Chain A
Amino acid sequence: MSSYTPAEMMAATAAAELRDGEVVFVGIGLPNLACNLARAIHAPNLVLIYESGAVGAVPERLPVSIGDPALVTGSLMVCSMADVFQCFLQNGRIEVGFLGGAQVDRFGNINTTVIGSYRKPSVRLPGSGGAAEVAIHARRTLVISRLNPRAFPAQVDFITSPGHVARGGSRRELGMPGAGPVKVITDKAILEADPDGELVLAALYPGVTVDEVRAGVGWPLRVRAQLDCVDPPSPESLRLLREVLDPDRLYLKG
């Protein structure tokens, strides 16, 4: 049984969530690896859309920024950034969106703005970028983040991207078209949103215990009665990740 790193497990697990032909809004880093892995293995017709305007992108190398000319070459279409947000996101054309961030809370709200108070933050984070719009409009979102109680507090310091129960109510009450974060892919397990919008433990990675996952979040994590066990990355996935998609391990480290 070949060994693999948590990052490789997260990329392969996220890839398995994507169905052929789906339209996916791709972020840089692990989401990009997951999408291009899925495209190589089981979803050749996956339509990758990058925030910079590349539609139907087929990058021949690992992009390290959404502003990478390699995203354009071979794409189906290149549109302006305004069109990405208006004609694709706000128009409901994005089926899957990937999100990550410094903090993800009990209801899948994500914070990429500040740690501490907005006026006097202890840490100023990069900000929303397109994340808020992806969280609101993508038909479903997949969150990728490593477990630790600081990264998974009961409540985020600031809601940049809304989850299932956000500032002022549920997604339906607030008129958010998308289904929100349906799965959170961590380095140890998969959390899923329960009908009431709370993230609960749904599946464990090989060799991981429930207590290890509980120790990774800042609220008393509920556990599904019937827990799935997630398959490890296939040898082919590992080969593609290591030799083709991220040979320098820019995003696969650790």
Chain B
Amino acid sequence: LPFWPLRDYMGTDLPTANPLIRRVTCPFTGEELAAVPALNPDVTIVHAQRSDPQGNTQIWGLLGVQKEAAFASKRVIVVVEELVDETVVRADPNRTVIPGMIVDAVVVEPWGAHPSYAQGHYDRDNAFYVAWEETSRDPAKLRTYLDEFVYSVADRAEYVTRSGGLEHLRAGERMAAGVNYGY
């Protein structure tokens, strides 16, 4: 859809500052609502726990706007901790958030979300984020960080080793019992 209605922004200066916040009148009740335009990315990149080779992607834990961002985009890349067989996906279809039909590429990259987390795989590296505030505030420190951890690493595996290993972030076990999809 080209826009989304929101009962929002009344009394604030946000609409005066942001011309993309407009008004729309409900055709049934006459209520005046805010309207914001659709966001249609050219490429959406999503990180998830697992998908099958066709890109049927399963996510659990915080979902954010992963589904919406994928469906609204021209192209979709999913980066996953684990590639699984289609039968694994089919055994738990409610957990599929992004269907393969809208996915253009699947990248298998363990630790791909660090310093953020992947529920069930590894924790959020809070120490990194606390230190990051310092690093990002100082252009020289930022430059040094980018050279060492972004521009000069061959691949994600080298990033992990260069980070001194991330095993301490490995997730503990809080397994949920499976559910019966039988009928």
Which residues of chain A come closer than 8 Å to B10, judged between CB atoms?
136, 162, 166, 168, 174-176
Q: How far is the CA of A65 from the CA of B126 in the complex (A)?
A: 9
Q: Are B11 and A81 in contact (CB under 8 A)?
A: no
Main secondary structure of the interface of A (DSSP, over half): loop
- B3 at interface by CB-CB < 8 Å: no
Q: How far is the CA of A225 from the CA of B126 in the complex (A)?
A: 47
- B26 at interface by CB-CB < 8 Å: no
Q: Are A159 and B130 in contact (CB under 8 A)?
A: no
Which residues of chain A come closer than 8 Å to B131, judged between CB atoms?
none
Q: Are A64 and B126 in contact (CB under 8 A)?
A: yes
Which residues of chain B come closer than 8 Å to A73, judged between CB atoms?
174
Measured as residues with beta carbon below 8 angstroms from the partner, the interface class of chain B is 20 to 34
Which residues of chain A come closer than 8 Å to B9, judged between CB atoms?
132, 136
Q: Are A132 and B8 in contact (CB under 8 A)?
A: yes
A-B pair number, CB within 8 angstroms? 102
- B177 at interface by CB-CB < 8 Å: no
Measured as residues with beta carbon below 8 angstroms from the partner, the interface class of chain A is 35 or more
Q: Are B119 and A72 in contact (CB under 8 A)?
A: yes
Q: How far is the CA of A71 from the CA of B126 in the complex (A)?
A: 14
Given contacts A64-B130, A81-B64, contact A118 B17 (CB under 8 A): yes
17 new A-B contacts at CB < 8 Å, known A64-B130, A80-B63, A158-B17: A64-B126, A64-B129, A67-B124, A68-B117, A72-B61, A79-B63, A80-B67, A90-B6, A113-B14, A118-B16, A128-B12, A160-B13, A162-B10, A167-B11, A167-B13, A175-B31, A176-B11
A residues within 8 Å of B by Cβ? 52-54, 64-65, 67-74, 78-82, 90, 109, 113, 118, 128, 132-133, 136-137, 158-162, 166-169, 171, 174-176, 250
29 sampled A-B residue pairs with Cβ under 8 A = A52-B62, A64-B129, A67-B124, A69-B62, A69-B119, A73-B174, A78-B61, A78-B62, A78-B63, A80-B63, A80-B67, A80-B68, A81-B65, A82-B65, A90-B6, A90-B7, A113-B14, A136-B7, A136-B11, A158-B17, A159-B12, A159-B13, A160-B12, A160-B13, A161-B12, A162-B10, A166-B11, A167-B13, A174-B10
